[in-house]
């Protein structure tokens, strides 16, 4: 008798209150979209380090660019600077987040227990590009750049215009975070040269980004915020000499870095014409798909309304000269 009654209910009406199921699409989509748009710009730190690159296909190719060329005296024919033949192809990857709400709660208009989940879904979509840049930072020591070396490496090859070859580094080891070491790394970045064997102009006159895990936050802020050198350590020093590194960088605290290393820190020149990273975006996770029809398999068979977002994109490694990784 129960089986017959249950079958009659489904076959006759599908769901007890299909109008409320339809309303779920409006409630969920609006809540997630509002949470996405509510994330303040100051939390979108990827904009400091990465160029946003629209993507129109499943993958894009990137070529080596002549880094920050300078004007040269015109002697004879023009020296044409273009793209080199070496290239790397970056494939867009899929990202998603999906949440389910029991149909009974939808029919009873019980959305309150799930509003925080809707807000979290929208917020996660807004911060997705942060995640892409973070993954590029963490994997920069193993991911091969266009020149055949990992992005963070001690021997990036450089072929000069006269045909001679040399190497340069953006990986600095045995370099714990101190004021003196910050100054050393900045000087090394300034010394990086281009194919004309002249300094590229990196970290010169530009405010840098000093990115640290939370364990190094206090140290980093003392180095670039303290007025006098007496405050560059935890000691009770009363030294009153001016801090020459004050305002040399903005501190970017990334707690996620702690999972990789609590002592590794980074310096980025985010004001250069070309940035150290890029984010290739094919599809933003700014819209919600809601499976709420009575005939949707999740509703019919599982008695659950599903809603989720999707992003397509990938991190891109840009100009290694504008980035330095420092390990203790």
Query: In this structure, are residues 258 and 265 in contact, taking their beta carbons and an 8 Å threshold?
Result: no
Burial class (CB in 10 A: 0-12, 13-18, 19+), 40: exposed
DSSP-based three-state secondary structure for 210? strand
Over the chain, what is the mean pLDDT? 88
Question: What is the CB neighbour count within 10 angstroms for residue 90?
Answer: 18
Structure tokens at 142: 């193993």
Question: Which residues does residue 53 pair with via DSSP β-bridges, in sequence order?
Answer: 280
Chain CA centroid to CA 180, Å = 28
Structure tokens at 52: 């946003």
Using the Cα atoms of residue 98, residue 52, residue 42 and residue 202 in order, give the sign of their dihedral. Answer: positive
What is the Cα–Cα distance from 170 to 267, expressed in whole angstroms?
A: 10
Give the closest residue to 282 by CA, choosing from 247, 316, 242, 327.
Answer: 316
pTM equals 0.86
- In a domain, residue 157? The reply is yes
Express as a percent the part of the chain with pLDDT over 70.
Answer: 87
Burial class (CB in 10 A: 0-12, 13-18, 19+), 193: middle
DSSP-based three-state secondary structure for 62? strand
pLDDT band at 196 (very low <50, low <70, confident <90, very high): confident
Express as a percent the part of the chain with pLDDT over 90.
Answer: 68
pLDDT at 69 over 60: no
Q: How many structural domains does the chain have?
A: 1
- In a domain, residue 143? The reply is yes
pLDDT band at 149 (very low <50, low <70, confident <90, very high): very high
Output the domain CATH number for residue 228.
3.90.1690
pLDDT at 190 over 50: yes
- In a domain, residue 74? The reply is no
Top mean pLDDT of 38-47, 54-63, 266-275 is at: 38-47
- In a domain, residue 211? The reply is yes
- In a domain, residue 179? The reply is yes
Q: What is the pLDDT of residue 322?
A: 94
Q: Tens digit of pLDDT for each residue in 94-111? A: 999 999 999 999 989 899
- In a domain, residue 75? The reply is no
- Span 249-262, mean pLDDT? 96
pLDDT at 127 over 80: yes
What's the number of CA atoms in the CB half-sphere (13 Å) around residue 308?
13
- In a domain, residue 70? The reply is no
Q: What is the pLDDT of residue 80?
A: 65
- In a domain, residue 177? The reply is yes
Give the closest residue to 262 by CA, choosing from 210, 214, 209, 325.
Answer: 214
Chain CA centroid to CA 325, Å = 16
Question: Kind of pairing, strands 277-283 and 304-317?
Answer: antiparallel
For residues 161 and 270, which has the higher predicted lDDT (pLDDT)?
A: 270
Those residues whose C-beta lies under 8 Å from the C-beta of residue 81, and which sit 6 or more positions away, are: 66, 69
Q: Tens digit of pLDDT for each residue in 159-182? A: 887 788 999 999 999 999 999 999
pLDDT at 39 over 80: yes
Give the closest residue to 313 by CA, choosing from 33, 62, 91, 44.
Answer: 91
What is the Cα–Cα distance from 254 to 51, expressed in whole angstroms?
A: 19
Domain span at residue 226 reads 30-64+89-326
- Span 241-257, mean pLDDT? 94
pLDDT at 85 over 60: no
DSSP-based three-state secondary structure for 165? strand
Q: Tens digit of pLDDT for each residue in 200-231? A: 889 987 789 999 999 999 999 999 999 987 76
How many residues comprise the chain? Answer: 328
Question: Which residues does residue 208 pair with via DSSP β-bridges, in sequence order?
Answer: 249
């Amino acid at each position: 008798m129960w089986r017959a009654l249950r079958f009659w209910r489904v076959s006759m009406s599908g769901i007890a209150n299909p109008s409320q199921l339809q309303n779920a699409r409006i409630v969920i989509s609006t809540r997630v979209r509002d949470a996405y748009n509510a994330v303040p710009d100051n939390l979108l730190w990827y904009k400091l380090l990465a160029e946003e690159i629209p993507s129109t296909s499943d993958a894009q190719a990137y070529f080596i660019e002549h880094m920050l060329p300078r004007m040269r005296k015109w002697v004879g024919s023009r020296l044409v600077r273009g793209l080199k033949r070496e290239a790397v192809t970056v494939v867009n990857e899929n990202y998603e987040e999906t949440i389910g709400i029991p149909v009974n709660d939808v029919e009873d208009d019980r959305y309150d227990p799930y509003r925080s989940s809707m807000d979290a879904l929208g917020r996660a979509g807004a911060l997705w590009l942060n995640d892409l840049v973070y993954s590029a930072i963490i994997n920069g020591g193993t991911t091969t750049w266009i020149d055949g070396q990992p992005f963070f490496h001690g021997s990036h090859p450089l072929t000069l215009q006269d045909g001679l070859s040399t190497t340069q580094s953006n990986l600095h080891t045995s370099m714990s975070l101190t004021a003196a070491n910050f100054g050393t790394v900045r000087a090394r970045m300034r010394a990086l040269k281009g194919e004309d064997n002249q300094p590229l102009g990196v970290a010169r006159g530009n405010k840098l980004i000093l990115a640290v895990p939370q364990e190094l936050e206090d140290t980093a802020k003392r180095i670039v915020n303290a007025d006098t050198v007496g405050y560059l350590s935890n000691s009770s020093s009363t030294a009153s000499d001016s801090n020459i590194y004050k305002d040399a960088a903005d501190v970017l605290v990334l707690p996620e870095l702690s999972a990789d290393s609590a002592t590794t820190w980074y310096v980025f020149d985010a004001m250069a014409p070309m940035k150290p990273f890029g984010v290739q975006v094919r599809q933003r996770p700014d819209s919600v798909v809601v499976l709420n029809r009575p005939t949707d398999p999740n509703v019919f068979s599982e008695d659950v309304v599903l809603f989720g977002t999707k992003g397509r994109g990938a991190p891109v490694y840009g100009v290694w000269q504008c980035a330095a990784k420092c390990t203790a």
